[in-house]
Amino acid sequence: MSKEPLKKIGICADHGGFELKEKIKSFLKKNHFELVDFGAMELDETDDYPDFVIPLAKAVAANEVFRGIAICGSGVGACVAANKVSGIKAALITDYFSAHQGVEDDDMNIICLGGRVTGYAASEEYVEVFLNAKFIGAERHLRRLRKIQKLELKNRE
């Protein structure tokens, strides 16, 4: 996987994604990524994904971590919550192509997965390609991202 210096990766999950998070953590450690775990630290069926996803998203937006991995039962709630943080471009990923294309074209910085719907082998592939993908920065991509940034700035007013 990565031969570069350690990259700090943020990861989080609620109860619906807890088991998958723990498996992905092992995979990332084995592949020499430094992890920051934003929780949950134990399985608690009553926890809420925003309590973990929002701190993760804020850390990604502040460049405290390189990229983030957010997991809930379906991945949808994690994606919705992450995208409420300015500077975040999160997507629910269910295929290999989107896992790298989201970074290459759209500068995606958080991958969202469904712990109840994404198999371990598939999630490992998606995470690996997401973390190794690089933003291309073509003019058409930059133009589109500037439109989104303009909206974010307007919404702050």
| Residues assigned a catalytic role | 72
Do the Cβ atoms of 84 and 96 come closer than 8 Å? no
In terms of C-beta distances under 8 Å and separation of at least 24 residues, what long-range contacts does 124-127 make, across chains too?
Answer: 124/23, 124/24, 124/27, 125/96, 125/99, 126/93, 126/95, 126/96, 126/99, 127/24, 127/27, 127/28, 127/69, 127/99
Amino acid at 157: E
Task: Tell me whether residue 110 is exposed, middle or buried, using C-beta atoms within 10 angstroms of its C-beta: 0 to 12, 13 to 18, 19 or more.
Answer: buried
Strand 67-72, strand 90-92: pairing: unpaired
Kindly tell me the sign of the dihedral angle through the C-alpha atoms of 54, 59, 63, 66: negative
